[in-house]
Amino acid sequence: MLAQLPEGAREVAVLLGRLLLGVVMFAYGWDKWVTKGLSATAAGLGQGGVPFPFLSATYAGTVELVGGALLILGAFTALVGVLMVLDMAGAIVVTHQYVSITGRPGIALTGAILAGALVFAAIGAGRYSVDHLLDARRTTTRPGIA
């Protein structure tokens, strides 16, 4: 039985998953910051009963925009994953605005994003990432330095 993909395929799968989640989150953040703007996003959240709507819009928009870009690069991946988990948990608990696979309000989209973010928080960015490059440089012993 195949317990996990071979290492090369696993690294490519982590890269593709990270890129896809990063692009989706970047697009949601772009929508909040640029397309709609934070004021309109906050107004919509406020109408939905979200507490501290401007703060909530700013947090969500920033985590999604900046965090999405960082996921694409594979930088600060564990931290970004945790922040995205909190973002999506808040959306699930507070807004319930997303449509599930049944067509009724549910958590299908936010739950899937939360699951992906949780996986990247746990496993990191993989080999093809800024995190990996920085870690490799930190652990490399330089000549003449003890």
Domain-by-domain residue ranges, the chain? 17-126
Q: Is 44 exposed, middle or buried (0-12, 13-18, 19+ CB in 10 A)?
A: middle
Phi, psi of 104 (to 5 degrees): -100, 160
Cβ–Cβ < 8 Å for 85, 122: no
Per-10-residue mean pLDDT of the chain, 146 residues long, equals 91 98 98 97 92 96 98 98 96 73 76 96 97 87 54
The C-alpha atoms of residue 110 and residue 125 are separated, in whole angstroms, by 21
Specify the pLDDT at position 49. Answer: 87
Condensed to tens digits (0 to 9), the pLDDT of residues 66-102 reads: 999 999 999 999 999 999 999 999 998 887 666 566 7
Specify the pLDDT at position 48. Answer: 86
